[in-house]
Amino acid sequence: LPHIHGGDVSLVERQVSLLRDRNQDLRKQLEALVSAATTNSDIFLKCQRLVLALLEAKDSAEFYLALEKSLKRDFKCNAYSLMVFNDDAEQINHFTYSVSEATAREYVGSLIKSKKPTLGVLRPAEQDFLFRHASDKVKSAAVLSVKDPATSGSARGQIALLAIGSDD
């Protein structure tokens, strides 16, 4: 019931209105936090499944397959590649291939040199080299240099590049 005195709103009614508005704002913030927590929990579980699958792999073929399945099924990636540095160039599976480090440096040298993951739009030559047949699907990418912990202090610390592309 309104507490109106001669067209004026009482102080009590004004305070109740402010408390309702504040309560509504707090509810929205709580819903946003719960939503973020749910998303983070889902991502954590996907990462956990990926790590366990990689640890259970008995050989490199199982390792590459587990990585590919997780990126495709769990993380819904539409373009990804793992480029392993090796003197013998070969296609390991449809998303994993090996190339010499010298060849890779010609096309993606700046990505190899980077000490941090590269996020954003790639140069066309880099994108084509990393994603090959899926290059046209990629609008932006995350590229991570995979290092060998045993040789991290040497110049040959990088052993691979993992590239994940996005269509937005």
Partners of 162 in the beta sheet?
Answer: 82, 144
DSSP state for residue 162 in the 8-state scheme: E
Q: Output the pLDDT for position 13.
A: 82
**What is the overall mean pLDDT for the chain?**
88
pLDDT in tens, 131-150: 988 889 899 999 998 888 77
Q: Output the pLDDT for position 10.
A: 76
Name the least confident of 29-33, 66-70, 112-116: 112-116
The C-alpha R_g of the chain, in whole angstroms, comes to 26
pTM (2 d.p.): 0.74
DSSP state for residue 73 in the 8-state scheme: I
Q: CA 122 to CA 147: how far, in whole Å?
A: 21
Partners of 84 in the beta sheet?
Answer: 98, 160
Q: Structure tokens of 163?
A: 């590239």
Q: Are 149 and 139 in contact (CB under 8 A)?
A: no
Partners of 15 in the beta sheet?
Answer: none
Amino acid at 48: Q
141: closest CA among 114, 103, 102? Answer: 114
pLDDT in tens, 80-129: 999 999 888 888 888 889 999 889 999 999 998 888 999 999 999 999 99
Q: Residue 14: which pLDDT band, with cuts at 50, 70 and 90?
A: confident
Burial (CB count within 10 angstroms: exposed 0-12, middle 13-18, buried 19+), residue 79? buried
Amino acid at 71: L
Tell me which of 44 and 112 has the higher pLDDT. Answer: 44
Q: Output the pLDDT for position 125.
A: 92
pLDDT at 54 over 80: yes
Helix (H) or strand (E) holding 119: strand 118-120
pLDDT at 154 over 80: no
Q: Are 68 and 95 in contact (CB under 8 A)?
A: yes
Burial (CB count within 10 angstroms: exposed 0-12, middle 13-18, buried 19+), residue 81? buried
